[in-house]
Structures are given as structure tokens and as C-alpha cells.
Structure 1
């Protein structure tokens, strides 16, 4: 497989997801906007890559990953509104 722009985009997405997981592991009280926002960015970038270099199981996984990240962001916004 050639190392084209879509593969590079996929690597950036992978780095986002791994970075978010590392952030969650290292921080005792992670910021949900950083955590879920980074996961959403990673899932989006990997989806772009997977639309060109299709791998259906991975593409479906990224859909779930993005949905969970969006749910996490929604929960954080909801919690923030109730705290104000």
C-alpha cells in the first residue's frame, strides 16, 4: 500500500486516538472536552482515510468511536449547563 495523503491522514487520526487514551490514563481528572474532542477528531480523520482505503470493519468501528465521542461531548455540555 502506498504512503499517500490519505494514509498520512489515517496516521494522524490514529495518533489522536492513542493520545486521547494516554491522556485518559495519565490524568486523574481528564477534561472531557479534550478527551472526547480528540477522540472525535481521530475517528473523523481515520474515517477519511478508510473511505479511500476501505476496510469495512474498521470503518464501522470508527463510526461507533465517533458516536461515543459525540455522546461524551453531549454529556459534558449537559453537565456544564446544569452546573451554571
Structure 2
């Protein structure tokens, strides 16, 4: 069984963020993109911290893409907010 250290716990929190964001997107009639993408970005960052200590290259690459998509979503949301104002 893998060691349950602080970096594994950080990874679990990151996983919970990503799953929560997905559930929020699925359940909400009109999800707030800042909550959705911000939570996904936080989750990807936390999982990346864990993966830098407990290396798993495919998962690390996945988190890079996950973070990039979340950043794109946040940029798009900020741009849409600027247009509305």
C-alpha cells in the first residue's frame, strides 16, 4: 500500500476539486464558469504537486492539459464578462 503522506493528501484534495467541478457542471442549470474552471485549475495544480513527488508521467501530462483547458475557460469567461460590461 502506498504511503499516505502530505503529498498524497494534497493529491486527494485536488482529485476532490476536479470531481466536484464536474458534478457542479452536471447538476447546475447554469454553471458559473469561474467556479467550474477555477475549481478545475485548483484541482489540477494540487494533483500536479502530488505527482511531482510521486511521479506518474501520463497523469502529470494529463494534469497539464487539464490546467490548460481550465485556464482557457477562465480567459474566455473573463473576456465574456468584459464584453457584457
Normalised to the residue count of structure 2, the TM-score between the two structures is: 0.98
Match of 2:5 in 1: 4
Match of 2:65 in 1: 64
In the TM superposition, residue 13 of structure 1 has moved relative to its aligned partner by 0.1
- Return the alpha-carbon distance in structure 2 between the equivalents of residues 54 and 30 of structure 1: 33
Match of 1:38 in 2: 39
Residues 57-83 of structure 1 show CA distances to partners (whole Å, capped at 9, x for unaligned) of 000000000000000000000000001
Instruction: Give the number of equivalent residue pairs.
Output: 84
Which segments of structure 1 move beyond 2 Å, counting only runs of 4 or more? Answer: none
Match of 1:81 in 2: 82
In the TM superposition, residue 28 of structure 1 has moved relative to its aligned partner by 1.0
- Return the alpha-carbon distance in structure 1 between the equivalents of residues 39 and 50 of structure 2: 17
Q: Which segments of 5 or more consecutive residues in structure 2 lack a partner in the other structure?
A: none
Q: Which segments of 5 or more consecutive residues in structure 1 lack a partner in the other structure?
A: none
- Return the alpha-carbon distance in structure 1 between the equivalents of residues 73 and 26 of structure 2: 17
In the TM superposition, residue 16 of structure 1 has moved relative to its aligned partner by 0.1
Match of 1:20 in 2: 21
CA RMSD of aligned residues (A): 0.3
Normalised to the residue count of structure 1, the TM-score between the two structures is: 0.99
